Amino acid sequence: MLEVARAALKGLPGGPVELRALPRVESTNTALKQELARGELAAPLLLLTGDQYAGRGTRGRGWLMQPGRDLAFSIAAPDCGGAAFEPRLTLALGAVVAKALAQYCPGVGVSWPNDVVAGPPLGARKLGGILVETVVHPATRQRWYIAGVGINVNSTAADFPPELALELTTLRDEMHRLRPAGADASLDLGQILASLARAILALLASDGGGETWEQTWRALDRTAGKTWLYQRGDRSDRVTAEEVDLASGELLARDEAGLLHRIRSYTDLSRARG
């Protein structure tokens, strides 16, 4: 798998990229953060694992994968001007990841703030997620980004706990839904890894110029219509998403009284039921 990715990453802006694989690790993001904190990284690194047993998602939630069938990896790269489109980097990464996956499975989209989704427009389920963290290199004092990516590929929703099966999907499930005759075919993890890594590294090596990721996000956005409870102190209002302000990275959502809210952090939201 790494050989396929290595060949695909030749000639990218930003110089050579080291590729490394671990059979099993708690979290690829955590492992790279620890290396950076020790000052052991000097060039971009992609860390892949076949079994991530304590992956992290939004708001400290866990991220599960099926060992050997799904993708879990992180890329560490120095800041090459990405601050120009922060705090929108998570949105930008979501856009390029979804676009790369769409070549394997039509109907892949994005949902604020960091979800990659797939399925019918009104019933899209989570296909993967992105966790972006920053670390300051202790020797150079340069800021580094760590972009962790988890994608459900050759597993099926039935492989996950029952409470998650109705909320997530996989590339294999989506291919079965779209083309039942090809349901038994497995996707090539190496090719998908190469496509995603190339897209991510190209973005991280850019300065956000041209904002082409914004066009991709708008074309793939599945956020509108989702409902949450918006919490501020003791107050909680049911809100419905209208759009994402790509200039700020904020969610625009309207409450039941018609008031429009600008929501910066996902931690201010909880799931609305009923």
Domains and CATH numbers, the chain: 2-220 (3.30.930.10), 227-271 (2.30.30.100)
How far does Cα 113 stand from its chain's mean position?
A: 9
This prediction has a pTM of 0.90
- Tell me if residue 10 falls in helix, strand or coil: coil
Q: What is the pLDDT of residue 11?
A: 66
Q: What is the pLDDT of residue 14?
A: 59
End-to-end C-alpha distance for the chain, whole angstroms = 44
To the nearest whole percent, how much of the chain has pLDDT over 90? 51
Mean pLDDT of 104-116: 92
Mean pLDDT of 130-142: 90
**Closest alpha carbon to 217 in 112, 118, 85:** 112
User: ∠ at Cα 199 (244, 214), nearest 5°?
Assistant: 25
Region of residue 68 (left: phi > 0; alpha: psi -120 to 50; beta: else): left
CB 241 within 8 Å of CB 252 = yes
Give residue-wise pLDDT tens across range 212-242.
889 999 999 999 999 999 998 889 999 999 9
CB 203 within 8 Å of CB 196 = no
